[in-house]
Amino acid sequence: MLFLGAKPDNTPSFYSFMNYADFGIGTFHPKKGMYEVILAMEELAKSLGVTIKTEQSVEKINVTDNKATGIVSNGETYHCDIVLSGADYHHSETLLDKVHRQYSEAYWEKKVFAPSSLLFYVGFDKKLENVNHHTLFFDVDFEAHAKEIYDTPKWPKDPLFYASFPSLTDTSVAPEGQEAGIFLIPLAPGLEDTPELRALYFDKIMDRFENLTSQNVKNNIIFKESFCVKDFIDDYNSYKGNAYGMANTLLQTAFLRPKLKSKKVNNLYFTGQLTVPGPGVPPSLISGKLVSELIKKHHTIKTYESAI
Ligand SMILES: Cc1cc2nc3c(=O)[nH]c(=O)nc-3n(C[C@H](O)[C@H](O)[C@H](O)COP(=O)(O)OP(=O)(O)OC[C@H]3O[C@@H](n4cnc5c(N)ncnc54)[C@H](O)[C@@H]3O)c2cc1C
């Protein structure tokens, strides 16, 4: 619930389906991790004739007479019949001249964003005890941390955190006898992010982790990488470094979210976690499906439905 962008006490009971998904249906892990899903999608896209170019950074969307005519990426101009952006919605609009943008900076500033996160990817040279694939450390005051995300944004005094050890389920993610761990602290977006703060919070959660799981692990760390607000901005152009897009609060749901189709540029579309239906992997995939239907409705294009 917290990651959807709302405190549970403000969240419509509709979201109780999340609990049903966890406890009623169960959780699943793609063998070798989430990246395998990306590779499968790449294979499917290529089999349908799609050309994929990676390591591209789109710098500009060119518009003439309210029609997107092309994009500039890595200094090269590509002519386009339709432009569909899956990047952060706010960032995508900054690639347009101001006159073609639908939403002002004031609009984005007023919106409730889902949290950012401080993440640590840690390799241990031994198997760990008393942990599961998914372990939630909610041993501190949940309300206090939730307030520090949503009401009075600041670095949490006593952070709750989530730890994942995929190597307990999947032998491909760590060598035999070793463990791969991911630690996540949800944070308000837009917070100051420094190496010192990251180090301070790593120590905080490692102390608690050792106490609560009754073992020493600090001397068994052989790899450590962190990712936080600054990286979400630098690597993903994410608005204020948010990790999960725009919150799905009642007034930011369905038709109240930024639109899939630009109101100002006829053949420009958006998809992903800032538009409909909202944050998360399944909603982002559904967003892709919705926008594809909209594009088919407005443009004459060759479809590959039979292959899918
Ligand atoms: C740590 C973490 C844990 C999560 N856990 C879960 C979970 O358990 N379940 C769940 O459902 N969701 C989870 N999420 C959320 C989920 O990952 C996102 O909601 C989803 O990936 C968003 O998809 P998207 O396609 O909208 O955006 P993204 O996956 O962010 O894709 C946008 C892409 O656009 C690229 N881009 C940006 N600017 C440009 C540019 N100028 N030129 C070219 N490319 C550009 C970015 O590099 C990026 O690759 C988690 C997210 C994080 C960070």
Residue nearest to atom 22 of ligand 1 (CA): 273
**74 Ramachandran zone, left/alpha/beta (phi>0; psi -120 to 50):** left
Residue nearest to atom 53 of ligand 1 (CA): 243
Query: If you measure from the C-alpha of residue 3 to the centroid of ligand 1, how many angstroms do you get, rounded to a whole number?
Result: 13
Residue 231: count of CB within 10 angstroms of its CB: 18
Query: If you measure from the C-alpha of residue 283 to the centroid of ligand 1, how many angstroms do you get, rounded to a whole number?
Result: 11
Confidence of residue 287 (pLDDT cuts 50, 70, 90): very high
Q: Could you state, in order of their start, the residue ranges of all structural domains in the chain?
A: 35-110+244-298, 115-236
Tens of pLDDT, residues 4-48: 777 777 776 666 777 788 889 988 899 999 999 999 999 999 999
How far is it, in rounded angstroms, from Cα 280 to Cα 38? 15
Cis peptide before 277 (omega within 30 of 0): yes
Tokens representing residue 88 in the block:
């952060």
Note the pTM of the prediction, 2 decimals. 0.93
61 within ligand 1 shell (Cβ under 6 A):
no
Tokens representing residue 109 in the block:
């500033």
Give 131's Cβ-side CA count (13 Å radius): 29
Give the position, in ligand 1's atom list, of the atom nearest the Cα of 91: 38
Give the position, in ligand 1's atom list, of the atom nearest the Cα of 279: 19
Across 100-105, average pLDDT = 98
Residue 15 confidence (pLDDT): 66
| 140 neighbors 159 (Cβ within 8 angstroms) | yes
Buried b (16+ CB within 10 A) or exposed e, 84-99: bbbbbbbbbbebbeee
Which of 242, 281, 289 has most ligand 1 atoms within 8 Å of CB, for mutation? 281
What stretches of 214-254 show up as alpha helix (H) in DSSP? 229-236
DSSP bridge pairs for 179: 124
Amino acid at 158: D
Tens of pLDDT, residues 227-279: 999 999 999 999 999 999 998 888 998 999 999 999 999 999 999 999 999 99
How far is it, in rounded angstroms, from Cα 104 to Cα 114? 19
| 269 neighbors 260 (Cβ within 8 angstroms) | yes
Residue nearest to atom 27 of ligand 1 (CA): 272
Contacts of 270 (CB under 8 A, 6+ apart): 84, 85, 86, 89, 92, 258, 259, 260, 261, 262, 291
**Cα separation of the two ends of the chain:** 32
Is CATH 3.50.50.60 the right assignment for the domain spanning 35-110+244-298?
Answer: yes
What values do phi and psi take at 237, rounded to 5?
A: 55, 35
Query: If you measure from the C-alpha of residue 35 to the centroid of ligand 1, how many angstroms do you get, rounded to a whole number?
Result: 12
202 within ligand 1 shell (Cβ under 6 A):
no
